[in-house]
Amino acid sequence: MAVPVSGLQVWLDDNARVLRLAGPLRSALALPAQAQGRLQDYVQPCSLLVLEGEPMDWQGQPLDLDFKAAGGTTLHTRGWLQQHAGQWLLQVFDVGDLLQHRQQSLIAERQRHLTSHLACAVRDCSIECLEAVAKEQLQWLARHWQASAVQVLLQGAEGWQTYVASGEIVHGIADSVLSPLLDHMAPGQVYSSAAHPDLHLLFAARPASFVPYASGLQVKAWLLCGGPGAPLVGAEALSIFGAYAEPLVSRLVAFELEQQSERLDSLQVQLRAGWWQWRLITPNLQLDPGLAQRLGVPAQLTLSQWLSRVHPADREAAQLALGQLQCEGRDLELTLRLLDNNLQANPRWYRLCGQVRGNGPQRRLQGLMLDISDSKAQQLQAAAAQARLENLIASSPAVIYIQRYSEGALYAEFFSASLQPMLGWETPQEGVLQPGQWVHPQDQSLWLERTRTLLREGQVRSRYRLRDRQGDYHWVLDEARLLRDDLGLPVEVVGIWLDVSEATEAAEKMRESEERYRVLVEDSPAMICRYTPSLELVFGNQPLADYLECSPAQLPGINLGQWMSQTQRVAFVERLASLTPEQPVSTAEICLQLPGREHAWWVWSDRGLFDEHGKLLEIQAVGRDNTQVRRTRQQLVQSAKMATLGEMATGLAHEINQPLNVMRMAVVNALKRLENGEAQVDYLQEKLTRIDAQVQRASRVVEHMRVFGRRSEVDQQLFAPWQAVEGALSLLADGLRGKGVDLRVDAPQELLQVSGHQDQLEQVLINLLVNARDALLARREGGLLEPWIALRLEQDERQVRLLVEDNGGGIDPRLLERIFEPFFTTKPVGVGTGLGLSVSYGIVDAMGGCLSVENAAEGARFCIELPVHSTS
């Protein structure tokens, strides 16, 4: 058998002792120290398994043997054992290449599997789990590389930042320290901290490997790997980390983009904005879908379709601006109105912006549309409000001004346009004028004080005169306020001048007129005062003070009521209560008990002052002393009374004579009987009783006359008017009857009361009865008359009427109006005084009643009407 010349031939004996070596590979072997060694001494320990037993056992099967080669390397061989000339021949060939190849493809296969596993895990998980999955895969990778710690850094806002980590490599080295180093490291190779001087400084104690992942020329992620496995082998590490980082980075980028676009969308919606684009190679404009929906147009529309939505007033401007953008590339910025679907309702305002982007077929117009209707509406409202305000200021007699503050001084900066109509000055240019030069010379100190107060207290209100263009002065009311900045430092003064010339002049006139009235009031002979509803004086003039015996200054606080009787005061307050805003005036004669005087009678006119609810606040009063007049009148009444008494003297003589006669007769008869000795006790008793009755009758008459002749009480009393009728009759009845006059007296059932003086009313009735008697007697002289006088009383809730009628033929109608005049009489001189009816009229009037007369069927009928005193 031919011996091959390739490979390695080893001749062995039955005990596997090497007899001879041959073949080209022989030189590569590391020969054992002793010669004639066994085959086992030539091979690596791992091959010993194959060589168990004796050569006899090894034949007929392929043998893979790893020989120890020179330099400590291994020679991978495969061969067979066969018998050859009583020896064993081991023929092996070098299969190192083959093995290496297989090894490599195995590694490649494992790496493929690993990378696809990593890529799938990172790519397929949900975005929410991405970080957790990335960490899990990283841990797996660490185990694979037998690294103690791994860390992935991604490019963030502040440079390289750790995304996920397992174990800690950098020992507290912050991302911010690492980041600038990583920035300077190029992609495409794995860095070892041992080989890199900067990294070495940081990682001296624990070496680490830095594996980049790049897309294009830019590194997108770094893997830091530390521990026993480091440094990593370049290509494998790059590829495995690439498989991990590529989906991670792209997913994070996609997620970030998605979020960005979401934010943009929401921003567009919130701003009511949207993008638009026109690729010039297509006929259609493209709109942001949200915007298109809001406008109610398709997202793709032709230029003319879009222009048809632009308000006609803005259409040409929009067309021109788009043309300029398209042809000249001039940026577009336009405010326009867009009509909505039905083209009717209020158009909305949009801001349209645009730019040219790209070149060639990519050239396009791109921009933004922003709904500014709200701010436009506010702008229009503000403009309208400002116009209104300006108009108002311009047409009002007010000037608004601003003074700028600088180093303790104020400089005029602005005057509203109303300066011209108010003062005739043109609005001055900024800072050229000090309004102080318009101030009246006499008011300049006021002006300076105003500025000082303003700076000190922050606000001021003052009044001074300003000169206008014609040289005339205007009174202005100046209200100014100092505005300060955030630090409290003065910035400017805002003020307003109000032309108050008219008001000031009016106030001056008012003051003058008040002064005149004050003098009038002070010097008036009448009493003038003001007092509260509780009768307390607020003010009184000199005459009033004189009456009350004090000075005018002492008057306020004095109560008028203290000078009045209880009845007077009640009546006075009642009268005030009857004042109303509609009828605020009332006049009455009041009676006061003044210091050092008997009685004072004042004619007193009150005028009530009311608030808006009609409540009486104060009373102004004018009074005149009527005491003298009153006294005279009283004297008149008294003298009239006396006259009446005088007139009645005849009647009275009869009144007294009558009982005297009766008494004389009784006495004469009684004496006769006594003389004759016939005086019986009974008889004498009867006569004496009659005399007593007549004495009483006479004394009643005398007593009544005494009462009647007295002066009236000052205060009015309550009494039943019929009592006065009875009083008058007690004086006159007998006399009248004696003259043949028939007295027809009709006494009433119920007696209502009136207020006044009973004796005075009695006097009136006496006058009426005496007049009636005179008329009757005068008439009877001529013929057969049966004279009568009728007295009756009519009454209702409000008034009492006393009627005195006779059949004396009445009064000549021509004289009817005059009979109440004083001194009017138709009686002969020395008989009539002409005062009876005049005084009677005054008395009834003073009682608040009325005396009237008319001609009845047979004679005059006098009527005394009196108000019934109401108890309520």
Taking the complex as a whole, the smallest distance from the CB of residue 560 to ligand ADP amounts, in Å, to 38
Cβ closest to ligand ADP, residue 478 vs residue 805: 805
Tokens linked to 407? 């180093």
Alpha carbon distance 569, 793 (integer Å): 32
Question: Where on the chain is the footprint of ligand ADP (CB under 6 A)?
Answer: 767, 771-772, 775, 806, 808, 810-811, 819, 824-827, 832-834, 836-838, 859-860
Taking the complex as a whole, the smallest distance from the CB of residue 816 to ligand ADP amounts, in Å, to 9
Taking the complex as a whole, the smallest distance from the CB of residue 555 to ligand ADP amounts, in Å, to 45
Taking the complex as a whole, the smallest distance from the CB of residue 824 to ligand ADP amounts, in Å, to 6
Alpha carbon distance 713, 634 (integer Å): 11
CB 671 within 8 A of CB 794: no
Taking the complex as a whole, the smallest distance from the CB of residue 772 to ligand ADP amounts, in Å, to 4
Alpha carbon distance 505, 511 (integer Å): 10
Cβ closest to ligand ADP, residue 356 vs residue 819: 819
Taking the complex as a whole, the smallest distance from the CB of residue 740 to ligand ADP amounts, in Å, to 17
Alpha carbon distance 800, 802 (integer Å): 7
Tokens linked to 777? 């007697």
3-class state of residue 392 by DSSP: helix
Cβ closest to ligand ADP, residue 657 vs residue 855: 855
- Give residue 406's Cα distance to chain centre: 36
Cα radius of gyration (the chain)? 70
In sign, the C-alpha dihedral spanning 27, 33, 37, 43 is negative
Cβ closest to ligand ADP, residue 596 vs residue 813: 813
Cβ closest to ligand ADP, residue 53 vs residue 813: 813
Name the nearest CA neighbour of 38 among 54, 53, 17: 17
| C-alpha torsion angle, residues 342, 347, 349, 354 (rounded to 10) | 40
Cβ closest to ligand ADP, residue 167 vs residue 834: 834
CB 249 within 8 A of CB 215: yes
Cβ closest to ligand ADP, residue 767 vs residue 795: 767
What are the b/e assignments for 822-838, b being 16+ CB within 10 Å? eebbeeeeeebbebbbb
DSSP assigned state of 505 = H
Cβ closest to ligand ADP, residue 185 vs residue 636: 636
Amino acid identity, residue 512?
Answer: E
Cβ closest to ligand ADP, residue 54 vs residue 812: 812
Cβ closest to ligand ADP, residue 423 vs residue 791: 791
Taking the complex as a whole, the smallest distance from the CB of residue 776 to ligand ADP amounts, in Å, to 8
CB 694 within 8 A of CB 669: no
Q: From residue 735, how far is each of 19, 651, 773 by CA, in Å?
A: 209, 5, 10
Give the DSSP H/E element, type plus range, for residue 837: helix 836-846
Taking the complex as a whole, the smallest distance from the CB of residue 840 to ligand ADP amounts, in Å, to 8
Taking the complex as a whole, the smallest distance from the CB of residue 854 to ligand ADP amounts, in Å, to 11
Taking the complex as a whole, the smallest distance from the CB of residue 826 to ligand ADP amounts, in Å, to 3
Tokens 């006139």, residue located: 509
Taking the complex as a whole, the smallest distance from the CB of residue 716 to ligand ADP amounts, in Å, to 24
Taking the complex as a whole, the smallest distance from the CB of residue 554 to ligand ADP amounts, in Å, to 48
Alpha carbon distance 718, 722 (integer Å): 12
Cβ closest to ligand ADP, residue 763 vs residue 771: 771
Taking the complex as a whole, the smallest distance from the CB of residue 638 to ligand ADP amounts, in Å, to 16
3-class state of residue 653 by DSSP: helix
Amino acid identity, residue 258?
Answer: E
- 591: β partners: 601
- DSSP output for 35-85: TT-BGGGTB-GGGTTTT-S-HHHHTTS-EEEEEEBGGG-EEEEEEEEEEET
Taking the complex as a whole, the smallest distance from the CB of residue 760 to ligand ADP amounts, in Å, to 15
Taking the complex as a whole, the smallest distance from the CB of residue 719 to ligand ADP amounts, in Å, to 24
Tokens linked to 199? 């990294």
Cβ closest to ligand ADP, residue 49 vs residue 829: 829
Taking the complex as a whole, the smallest distance from the CB of residue 743 to ligand ADP amounts, in Å, to 14
Taking the complex as a whole, the smallest distance from the CB of residue 655 to ligand ADP amounts, in Å, to 21
Q: What are the helix (H) ranges across 550-676?
A: 566-577, 627-647, 649-675
Shortest-Cβ-distance residue relative to ligand ADP: 836
Degrees to nearest 5, angle at CA 722 with 719 and 727: 90
Cβ closest to ligand ADP, residue 288 vs residue 805: 805
Contacts (Cβ under 8 Å, ≥6 apart) of 235: none
Q: 407 — alpha (psi -120 to 50), left (phi > 0) or beta?
A: left
Sheet holding 473-484, edge to edge: 409-415, 398-406, 490-499, 473-484, 459-467
Cβ closest to ligand ADP, residue 291 vs residue 772: 772
Beta strands in 207-303 (DSSP E): 208-215, 218-226, 273-279, 284-287, 300-302
Alpha carbon distance 725, 803 (integer Å): 10
Burial class (CB in 10 A: 0-12, 13-18, 19+), 12: buried
CB 644 within 8 A of CB 769: no
Q: What are the helix (H) ranges across 286-437?
A: 289-295, 303-309, 312-328, 373-395, 419-423
Cβ closest to ligand ADP, residue 446 vs residue 856: 856
Alpha carbon distance 858, 588 (integer Å): 39
Cβ closest to ligand ADP, residue 47 vs residue 771: 771
Specify the pairing of strand 788-795 against strand 364-371.
unpaired
Cβ closest to ligand ADP, residue 114 vs residue 835: 835
